[in-house]
Amino acid sequence: MRYARDILAKKGHQVASAYTDQTVLDAAKLMNDRRIGCLVVTRGETVVGIFSERDILTRVVAEQRDPATTKVGEVMTTPCVVVTPDTELEQCQAIMSEKRIRHLPVVDEGRLVGIISSGDIMASQKVELEAAVQMLHEYIYGDAPGVSGS
């Protein structure tokens, strides 16, 4: 079984975050600079929400709010769904599908320790599938791909 902690071990524990009193404009600039789709909104080390591209579109642009004066805390998604490092990736995937979300903050004992995305899970599955294909190829042909069996 694979867990959220396995993805964090490979990608790291860095998380881009925002604060409730930060402007949407500043948060959007940070997201653009880092080329990411969301920010975890924190109060200290506690997760209080998540601010995503979808929030910008539905709660700022569509409602014709001024991003320079609107605060992240006014338009973030809250409560925020979180998982622990011990959450199985299959369960993470099910949560993402059910809630129609792409990012899950990872919290350990109430403290933010990372974030995983649907892309992270797909990349992890790709590596696992490639290893299975390699193993089956070796089983069937008795050698590694590209190596002649003479």
SS3 of residue 67 by DSSP: coil
CATH for 4-141 (3.40.50.150, 3.10.580.10, 1.20.950.20, 3.40.50.720): 3.10.580.10
CA 57 centroid distance within chain: 19
| Distance (Å, whole) CA 141 – CA 108 | 45
DSSP 102: S
The domain limits of the chain are 4-141
Q: Which residues in the chain come in under a pLDDT of 50? A: 149-150
The single-letter code of the amino acid at 72 is V
Which pLDDT does position 17 carry in this prediction?
95
Digit-coded pLDDT (tens) for 48-91: 999 999 999 999 999 999 999 999 999 999 999 999 999 999 99
